[in-house]
């Protein structure tokens, strides 16, 4: 959304996704509070502040980055280890069976990831791609994948998309 060259269709689509995610955050914060037995008063206030930046992409980006920096993903599998030959062929099979059906289509104007998961994955830092991957494999009411994967599977998809997928 910080790119001037973004088409109106793509901008509207990204805006809709951002609003969607912003609306889900209070619920996620509540789950987090319950799971951790943590007081989320301060977090809730920060989420409200984040939601108030929805019309100003530069501020939204800044506040969201600060907030996500406070909650790094706890992920215990090494994401940097290159895949071995047998893992590459196994992960290629899994990807072709479980992901390619949707992610093969040429990127339309209403998507940034369909058809271009490889270069999309290489356009951002590790934490962000991991977060997106977790979001992607969790799915939504349309994809309903509900993340059937272990952290090791996720780590293999992580390296596969970054290193193998062209």
64 binds ligand HEC (CB under 6 A): no
**In the window 129-158, what residues touch ligand HEC (CB under 6 A)?**
132-133, 135-137, 142-143, 145, 157
Which residue's CB is nearer to ligand HEC, number 37 or number 101? 101
Whether residue 107 contacts residue 115, with contact meaning beta carbons closer than 8 Å, is answered with yes
Binding mask 104-133 for ligand HEC (x = CB under 6 A): -------xxxx-----------------xx
Angle at 98 between CA 95 and CA 101, to 5 degrees: 95
**In the window 11-30, what residues touch ligand HEC (CB under 6 A)?**
none
Whether residue 145 contacts residue 95, with contact meaning beta carbons closer than 8 Å, is answered with no
Contacts with ligand HEC by CB under 6 A lie at: 98-99, 101-103, 111-114, 132-133, 135-137, 142-143, 145, 157
């Amino acid at each position: 959304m910080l790119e001037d060259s973004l088409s109106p269709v793509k901008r509207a689509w990204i805006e809709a996704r951002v609003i969607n995610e912003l609306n889900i955050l209070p619920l996620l914060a509540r789950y987090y509070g319950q799971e951790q037995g943590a007081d989320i008063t301060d977090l809730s206030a920060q989420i409200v502040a984040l939601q108030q930046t929805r019309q100003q992409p530069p501020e939204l980006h800044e506040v969201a980055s600060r907030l996500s920096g406070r909650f790094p993903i706890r992920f215990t599998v090494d994401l940097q280890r290159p895949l071995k030959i047998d893992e590459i062929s196994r992960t290629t099979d899994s990807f072709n069976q479980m992901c390619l059906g949707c992610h093969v289509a040429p990127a339309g104007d209403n998507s940034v990831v369909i058809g271009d998961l490889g270069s999309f994955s290489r356009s951002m830092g590790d934490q962000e791609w991991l977060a997106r991957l977790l979001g992607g494999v969790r799915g939504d009411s349309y994809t309903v994948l509900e993340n059937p994967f272990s952290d090791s599977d996720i780590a293999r998809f992580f390296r596969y998309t970054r290193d193998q997928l062209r």
